[in-house]
Amino acid sequence: MMEEEIKAEFTKNSFSFDDEEEILQKCLTFCIQYKLSASDLVSSWDLYAINRSLDSTVRSSHMGAFLEHLQSEQLNKVREKEPGLHLYSNDVAMILNGNYEEVEGMLHTPPDKRTLANEKPSDSAQKSNGSRFISGKPLASVTPFGSRKNKFVVQSTLNEHSSMQTIKIEEDHDNSEDDIIKRLQPSQKCSLLIDRSKPEPGCRFMYDRIEDKFNFLEDCIKKRATAYVSSKHYEEPVDPSIASQKSIFAVGMICCEEEGRLKEKPILLQSSVEHSGGQRVRLDLQKLNQFSIFPGQVVAVEGHNPSGHCLIASKIIDYVPLSVTSSEEHPSKRQAMDHSLQLTNPQLDTSELSLIVAAGPFTTSDNLFFEPLTELLAYARRKQPQLLVLLGPFIDSDHPELRKGTINQTFEEMFQLEILGKIQDYVEYMGSAVRVILMPSIRDANHDFVFPQPAFDIHPADFNHQIYSISNPGMFHANEVKVACCTVDILKHLSAEEICRNPQGGSKQRLTNLAKHILNQHSFYPLYPPAEDVPLDFSLAKEALHISSIPDILILPSDLAHFVKVLSFGEGNDGEEQLKCICVNPGRLARGEGGGFFVEINYRGNPDSSNASIIRI
C-alpha cells in the first residue's frame, strides 16, 4: 500500500523509474527508517535531483547517494531543534538508525508534516521547543513554495556569450572522516576587506538636530561645486538669483516649492549659503529636450536669469568628471578580515571573484519555514561560490505572522536559529574557504530602525573569520573587487519622484538611469526629502552615505523589476578614462507565497569580460 503511495507521488511530480521494483522497495525502507511520508520522500528527492542536475528518471544507482542526502537532512533537523547540541558518533548512529528514544532528554522525534497538519495550534505550540514558529493556520504537507514550477531557471543574463563557469565537485572516496556530510571546498579562498564605515553597532541615533540636516545639505552642494571647479572644465559658480543678461554657471539642489512631488509643483534650485545665502530661484526647463531630475539632486546649471526671478536653463550637468572623484580611500579605513590569507594563498588571482547575491524576505508570506533560504543554501553548496552575500530583511517586520504577534519566540531568537543557524550549517558544510556577508535592512524586526544602519552585532564563535555583517549601506573589497550595497529601496523611491524628458527616438532605459543617479550623485541615498518610511538620521549620514569612487559591482535590491546591467561613466574625451560598473537588482528571494530571484556573478577583471545570471529560486 505504501509502495503505491510512493509511486503515485513520484508520478505526480513527473518522475519515472529505470528499475521500478527495486527503487520502490528501497524508498519504502527509507520511509520506515526515517518516519517519512511518501510526499516528504519525493520532496527530498526533488531537492536532491535539482542540486545534482539530474533528469526526470529515478535510477537505482542513485539510491546510495540519496540515502546519504536523507541522513544529512535528519542531522539538520536535529540541529535545528537543538542548536547548541554537539553530536558524538554514537548519537549520530542512533539518529540515523531511528533510535531517537535512546537520546532521551536531548533529542525529540521530528514530527511528520502530515501529523503537524492535523495538530491544533495549541498542541503544536506546547510541543515546540523553540525551533518552530506557530501561527493560527494548520501546517500544510506541501506549501505553495514547495510545489512551485520552473525552479532555478535563468531569467536574464549579462554577457551571455561568456559561459558561466561551473566548478567541478570531485568526491574523495578515500576520505572517510565524515561519511554523512561531504565537505565541498571552493577552489580558492577570497581575500576580504571591509571598509570601515559608520554607524557602529550600539551607536546613538535619532537625535539629529536641524543643524545636522542643514550641514548635511550644505556640504553636499559645496562639495559638488568644488568638484566642478577642480575639474577645470567649469568656472566658479555664481549666485543664480541675481538678474543678469549674461550666461551664468550655478550649482544647487533641485527642490520643490512646497511639500509634494516634483511633477506637481514648480521646480526650484537652491544654492549654497556661500554663493547665494541659501536663496532659491525658480528653474525653467522648457528649452531642454532632455533631462532627468529629482528632489535632492545636486546639479550644475548653465543658463541666464534676466529678471532675477527665474533661471532659464540651457544645460543641466549632473555628472562630475571621474578624475576628480575616483581616488580610493586610505587603506587605514579598511578592516582586513583575514590577515593570514596572503601567506596561506600567495597564488591568489586578485581580479576574479565568484559570488551569489540574494535579498530578503527569505521566507514566504504564508509561513515562517524559511524554505527559500534553505533552497538557496542548497544551490550554493552545489555551485560553491567564493562569497555569499545575503541582504535583509531577514526577520521581516512586514510579514503577516509577525504583524499578528502569534509567534512564540523573540525576533532575535528567530534570527539566531533560522538565519544564523542555517548559515553556520552551510559554512560548516563548505569548509574554511567560504565567506558569507550579511547586511541588515530597516525592515528587520530584530535590528535598529535607523538609516544609515549599523551592522548586526554577531560574533559566531566557530566561524568568526567566515561570517561577517556590514553596515547598511556598506562597501567591501573581495579579491580587490570593490562591491557596494544598500538595502533601502532607493530605486523605487527615485522612480516615484523623478521627472524626465527624452528626445524623440531616444533610448528610454529608465532603470539604468535611476541606477546611474546613485553614482553620479556619489550618494547611496541622494533623495531629499527622504521617503516617509525611511528613518534617515542626518547626524550619521555624512560619512555613511558617501560613495567615494565607482565600485566594480553595485547591488541595489528593489521591488522594481530585477536586472543586471553594465553602467558606463565618463565620455572618454580629453583623455578621461571611461569607467564601468556592473549594477544588479537581484529582486526578492521570496515574493508573496511563491519564490523570487537571486543573482550569480562571476567577475573576471572587468565588467565586459564578466558574466552574471538572474535565477528564479
For 187-206+326-498+513-616, CATH number out of 3.40.50.300, 3.60.21.60, 3.40.109.10, 3.90.550.10 equals: 3.60.21.60
The whole-angstrom distance between residue 188's C-alpha and the CA centroid of its chain comes to 23
What is the reported pLDDT for 335? 55
What pairs with residue 581 in β-bridges? 567
Of 80 and 285, which is predicted with more confidence? 285
**Separation between Cα atoms, residue 516 and residue 514, nearest integer Å:** 5
Q: Report which residue type is found at 190.
A: C
pLDDT grade for 198, boundaries at 50, 70 and 90: confident
pLDDT at 82: 58
d(CA 67, CA 61): 11
- Name the residue among 525, 546, 548 with its Cα closest to residue 536: 525
β-pairing, 352-359 vs 387-391, is: parallel
Mean pLDDT confidence for 349-377: 92
Q: Domain 232-319 sits in which CATH superfamily?
A: Nucleic acid-binding proteins (2.40.50.140)
Cell numbers of 433, please?
Answer: 574557504
The DSSP bridge pattern shows strands 387-391 and 435-439 to be parallel
Query: What is residue 419's DSSP assignment?
Result: I
Most confident of the following: 115-124, 257-266, 350-359: 350-359
Report pLDDT digits (tens) over 359-370.
999 999 999 999
DSSP 102-155: GGTTT--PPPPHHHHHHS-HHHHHHH--SSS---SSPPPSS-TTTT-SSTT-EE
Residue 561: pLDDT band by 50, 70, 90 thresholds? Answer: very high
Cell numbers for 165, please give them. Answer: 563557469
Residue 491's alpha-carbon distances to 63, 294, 557, in angstroms, are: 48, 12, 8
State how far the Cα of 167 lies from the Cα of 490, in Å rounded to an integer: 35
Q: Are 95 and 74 in contact (CB under 8 A)?
A: yes
* Range scoring the smallest mean pLDDT among 264-278, 482-496, 538-552: 264-278
Q: End-to-end CA distance of the chain, in Å? A: 34
Cell of 592: 508573496
Q: What is the mean pLDDT of the chain?
A: 81
**Model confidence pLDDT, tens digit, residues 212-247:** 999 999 999 999 999 999 888 889 999 998 998 899
For 421, half-sphere exposure in the C-beta direction (CA atoms, 13 angstrom radius) is 20
Q: Which residues contact 559 (CB under 8 A, 6 or more apart)?
A: 489, 492, 588
Lowest mean pLDDT among 86-95, 122-131, 191-200, 406-415: 122-131
CA 488/CA 558 separation, integer angstroms? 8
Q: Report which of residues 398 and 114 the model is more confident about.
A: 398
Triad 4, 9, 15: Cα angle to 5°: 110
What mean pLDDT do residues 193-214 have? 84
Query: Does position 175 have pLDDT exceeding 60, yes or no?
Result: no
Pairing of strands 192-195, 334-336: antiparallel
Q: Quickly list DSSP for 344-390.
A: H-TT--TTEEEEEEEES--S-TT-S--HHHHHHHHHHHHH--SEEEE
- C-alpha 410/C-alpha 402 separation (Å) is 10
* Mean pLDDT on 359-387: 95
Task: Tell me the β-bridge partners of 299.
Answer: 252
pLDDT tens digits, 336-346: 544 444 433 44
Region 501-506: mean pLDDT is 75
User: Could you give the C-alpha distances from 208 to 199, 205, 405, 513, 535, in angstroms and in order?
Assistant: 13, 7, 32, 32, 11
Of 274, 281, 271, nearest to 308 (Cα)? 281
What is the per-residue pLDDT for 507?
Answer: 63
DSSP 57-84: EE-GGGHHHHHHHHHHHHHHHHHHHSTT
Say whether pLDDT at 388 is over 60: yes
Grid cell, residue 609, equals 569580460
**Residue 486, CA atoms < 13 Å, CB-side half-sphere:** 25
Cell of 534: 525611511
* Contact (Cβ atoms closer than 8 angstroms) between residue 470 and residue 560: no
pLDDT tens digits, one per residue of 24-64:
988 988 888 888 888 889 888 888 887 777 888 898 888 88
pLDDT of residue 100: 40
For 46, 209, 328, 413, 565, the CA distances from 50, given in Å and listed in that order, are 6, 54, 42, 31, 28
Segment 403-409 shows an average pLDDT of: 89
Residues facing 304 on adjacent strands = 312
**Residue 289 pLDDT more than 70?**
yes
Report if pTM > 0.95.
no
Residues 6+ apart with CB under 8 A from 577: 322, 323, 570
C-alpha cell at 584: 544588479
Alpha-carbon span 382 to 50, nearest angstrom: 10
| pLDDT of the residue at 171 | 37
Check residue 257 and give its pLDDT.
Answer: 81
Q: What's the rounded Cα separation, in Å, for the pair 449 and 298?
A: 27
